[in-house]
Chain A
C-alpha cells in the first residue's frame, strides 16, 4: 500500500511526457518502448499478412491469374522477411521490454537510451526493405534464405543487405539490454532460479541473438562483396563455394528459429499455471530444457541442407542431433500437461490460445521429427510439407503465444478488460481457419508439390483451394483482433483489477492496472510464495 501511495505522488511530478514526439520518439521508458515494439510488430504482421493473402490468392487455382512468377517470388521472400524480422521478433522484444522489468522488480531496462535506439532503427530498416518493391527490378525474389548464386542476380540486394544489417544491430542492442537488465537489475531476493520462466526464456534467447546475428550480418556482407566488390566467396567460377553460404546462413538460421520459439515457451509457462491455478510443473526442468534446446540449436544447422549432398557422416550426425531436440521439447509439453493435471482450470482467451499452442505446436514438432529422418527428408525437403511444418511452429506456435500474451497482459497494460466474448470469437475463428489453411499443406507436400511455386498441376488443385479459403478467413479473423484491441484500449468500461486473473502470480500483478509510467523505483520485497512457479526448492 505504501508503495502505491509513493508511486502516485511520483507520477504527478514526472509521468509520461505530454507531447507526442517527446513521449514516443524520445522515449526511454520500457513500457512506452514496449508499446512501440508491439504496435510496430502488429503493423508488420498485417503487411506481411497481406503478402500472404496475395500468395494464397494466386494459388487459389491452377494457372496464373493475378501476377507474374517473378512478382510471386518477391511476395514469398518479403512475406518471410517481414514476418520473421518485422512481426515475430519485434513482438517478443516488445513483450520482453514491457514485462521483464515488471517481472524482476526493476524500475526500467538497464540501458534505456539504447532501448530507444534499438526500436527506432527498425522502422527505417523496414522502409528500406519494403521500398524495394517499388524500385525498378523489384524486391528480393531469391527467398528469405538468399542462397547464392540466385540472390546475386537480384538488383535489390544492397538494399536488403543494409536493411538486414540494421535489423541485426537493433536485435543485438535489444539482446544486450535484456541480458544487462536481467543480470543486474533484479530486485533483492529475485534469485536467478526464482525468475519467471518467461524471463529465463528471454535471457537464453538474448544470448542466442548475440551469438548468431553477427553471423547473419557476415553472410549477407559476403553476398554484398561478391556482387559489388569482385570477391568470390560463393562464386565457383572464382574458387568459391555456394554451399559455404548455406552453412553460414543456417548456423544463424537454426538458432534463429529458436529465437522465435523460446520466448513463446516462456509465455505459455506463465499463462498455463495462472489459469490452472497450480504452480508450473518441474520449474527447473523447464529452465534446463530451454537451455538444452538453445545449446542443441547450434549443432543442428545442416538439417536444412540434407539435400545439398553432404557426406554420409555429416548427414548422420545432424540427423541424430536434430532428433535429440525432441527430448527437451517433449519434456516441456509433458510438463505443461502435468501443470494442468490436478489444477482448477478456467478457459479465458489467453488460456485458450495457450492450449491451442500446446497442441498445434506439438503437431509442428511431430512433423519436425519426421523431417529430421534423412531418407524421409529426401522426399519432404523443399515441399509444402516443410511449409506446413514451419507454419505450425511459427503461426500456431510463436504467433499464438504472442496473441495469448497480448490478451494475458493487455488488462495490465491498459487498465481495461478486453471483451471476453470477442476474444473467444477471435480464438475460435483463428484456431479453425489456421488448420484449414495449413493442415492440407502436409498432404500437398507428401503428394509432391514443391514450395515457392506460383502455379501447379491440377492434382494439387483441391487442397490448394481449401488452403486458400482457410488463409483468407484466418486473415480476416485477425481484423477481429484489431477490433478487440481498439475496444480494450479506448472504449472498454470494465476496469481491470491489479491482480487481473484470479490465479495470477508474480511481481507484475502487484503493481496497479494500468501499470503506471514508472514502477519499482523502490525495489519490491519478494515473497517466494507469490512467484508464479511456486516453491522451487521443494
Chain B
C-alpha cells in the first residue's frame, strides 16, 4: 500500500520546479503551454498501454493454449482478410486522433506573435548568455549577463574532488549541477519570446517547466515562447551534446511577480548605466539612460492596474 501511494505520488502531476527522486513521469510544467506535451504524453502512453495489453494478452493466451505440451495440433490457415483489414484500419483511426491533438498543440507553440517581452539566449561552450531585448514594448539597453554553473557544483563535480554531490544544497533542495551563478529572471503572466542562438557549437536550451526545448545554433536564430503561470525557480540543462562540459551548463529561470521583476530590471539597468556614464562625457546619451529606466518601471505598474 505504502509503495503504491509512493508510486502514485511520483507519477502525479504537481508543478515541479526541478526533477525529484523516483520521478516516473513527465512534469506538467509551469507555463500556459506546458500542459500540451504533458497531456499528449499521458494520452499516448495510455493508448500504447491498452494496445500493448491487448496484443501481448493475445500472445500470452496463444502461448498458453497452443502449446505442443498441452497436445495442441497446428492448424494450417495463414490468411484472414477480414482480420487484416480490421487491424490495419483501427491503428489508422487511433493515429488520426493523436495527430489531431498533436497538431493543435504544435500550432499554438509555433505562434510567437503578441509577445510582451523578448529575451535573447546565446549558448557558449559551456555557459549561457541572456540579453534582455524588450519589455512591454520598450527596448532595454545593456541588460545582459553570462550564466554558468555555480561554484559549489563546479568544485564538487571535479574528478576526484572527494566532495559529496548530495551536500550541494540551496535550502532543502539539492541543486547539484542544476544551479547557476546568475539566473535568468523573468516576470510571471507575460508572453515571453525567446530568441535563441549560439556563439560556437550547437546547444539546446531546455527548461522542462516551459514544455519545450529548442536548439541554439550558430548562424541561426530560433524563436519560441513561454508564459509562466506561477512564480518560482525552474531548472533545466543544455540538451544537445556540445563538448566536454555539456553536462555542466545548467539553466535556471527565476519567475518573479511583475512588480518584483520591474524592480529587478530597474536595478539591472541602473547598474549597467552607472559604469557607462563615467567614461562618456557627452551628456545626451547618459541622460537618456535613467529616463528609459523610469519608463520601463512605469509600464508594468500600468499593466497590473489594467
User: Which residues from chain A sit less than 8 Å from chain B, CB to CB?
Assistant: 62-65, 67-70, 73, 141-143, 147, 149-150, 153, 236-237, 240-243, 276-283, 285, 307-309, 312, 315-316, 319-320, 323-324, 326-327, 330-331, 333-334, 337-347, 355, 358-359, 362-363, 366-367, 369-370, 373-376, 378-379, 381-383, 443, 446-463, 503, 533-535, 538
Contact = CB atoms under 8 A, between A and B. Distances in A.
Contacts of A282: 78-79, 84
Contact of A462 (B21, B211, B212): B21
Contacts of B68: 277, 344-346
Interface of B: 18-27, 36-38, 40-41, 44-45, 48, 51-52, 55-56, 58-59, 62-63, 66-69, 72-80, 83-84, 87-88, 91-92, 95, 98-99, 101-103, 105-107, 109-110, 156-161, 163-166, 174-178, 200-202, 204, 206, 208, 211-215, 217-220, 222-223, 236-248
B76 A457 contact: no
B106 A374 contact: yes
A282 to B, nearest CB: 6
A127 to B, nearest CB: 26
B102 A450 contact: no
Given A278-B74, A331-B88, A70 B19 contact: no
Contacts of A373: 40, 44, 98, 101-102
Consensus secondary structure, chain B interface:
mixed
A243 B215 CA distance: 10
Question: Which of A62, A285, A339 counts the most chain B CB atoms within 10 A?
Answer: A62
A236 B106 contact: no
Given A278-B78, A307-B204, A452-B241, A376 B52 contact: no
Contacts of B21: 458-459, 461-462
Given A236-B220, A307-B215, A316-B106, 10 more contacts: A150-B202, A307-B204, A316-B103, A337-B59, A339-B78, A373-B40, A373-B44, A373-B101, A374-B106, A535-B78
B215 A309 contact: yes
Contacts of A153: 201, 243
Given A379-B26, A382-B213, A63 B156 contact: yes
A339 to B, nearest CB: 8
Contacts of A143: 241
A338 B81 CA distance: 12
A276 B37 contact: no
Contact of A344 (B72, B201, B240): B72
A327 B88 contact: yes
B195 to A, nearest CB: 11
Contacts of B160: 64
29 contacts: A64-B159, A73-B243, A147-B202, A150-B202, A153-B201, A153-B243, A237-B219, A242-B218, A242-B220, A276-B74, A278-B76, A280-B78, A307-B214, A309-B222, A319-B99, A327-B92, A330-B91, A338-B83, A362-B55, A366-B48, A366-B52, A375-B211, A378-B109, A446-B23, A447-B27, A453-B246, A455-B248, A458-B176, A534-B78
B100 to A, nearest CB: 11
B99 to A, nearest CB: 6
B87 A323 contact: no
Nearest to A143: B241
6 interchain residue pairs of minimum CB distance? A236-B219, A453-B247, A309-B222, A366-B48, A447-B23, A378-B212
Given A309-B220, A456-B247, A379 B41 contact: yes
Contacts of A370: 41, 44-45, 48
B62 A64 contact: no
A271 to B, nearest CB: 14
A514 B79 CA distance: 35
A483 B128 CA distance: 51
Contacts of B107: 312
A282 B55 CA distance: 17
B109 to A, nearest CB: 6
B218 A142 contact: no
Given A73-B244, A382-B204, A323 B98 contact: yes
Nearest to B156: A63
Nearest to B222: A309
A141 B244 contact: yes
A330 B48 CA distance: 12
Contacts of A379: 26, 37-38, 41, 208, 211-213
B91 A327 contact: yes
A346 B71 CA distance: 11
A309 B44 contact: no
Contacts of A326: 91, 95
A331 B86 CA distance: 10
Contacts of B217: 242-243, 308-309
Given A73-B244, A343-B66, A458-B165, A358 B72 contact: no
A459 B174 contact: yes
Contact of A334 (B55, B66, B242, B243): B55
Given A242-B202, A243-B220, A533 B78 contact: yes
B55 A369 contact: no
B52 A63 contact: no
A457 B62 CA distance: 45
A40 B87 CA distance: 40
A376 B242 contact: no
Contacts of B175: 457
A277 to B, nearest CB: 4
Contacts of B178: 457
B213 A374 contact: no
Nearest to B75: A342
Nearest to B201: A150
Contacts of B99: 319-320, 323
A307 B224 CA distance: 11
Contacts of B62: 337, 340-343, 345
B170 to A, nearest CB: 12
Given A150-B243, A312-B107, A443-B24, A63 B218 contact: no
Contacts of A383: 239
A192 to B, nearest CB: 18
A333 B52 CA distance: 11
A153 B125 CA distance: 12
Nearest to B162: A63
Nearest to A449: B19
Contacts of B243: 73, 141-142, 150, 153
Nearest to A385: B26
A291 B194 CA distance: 43
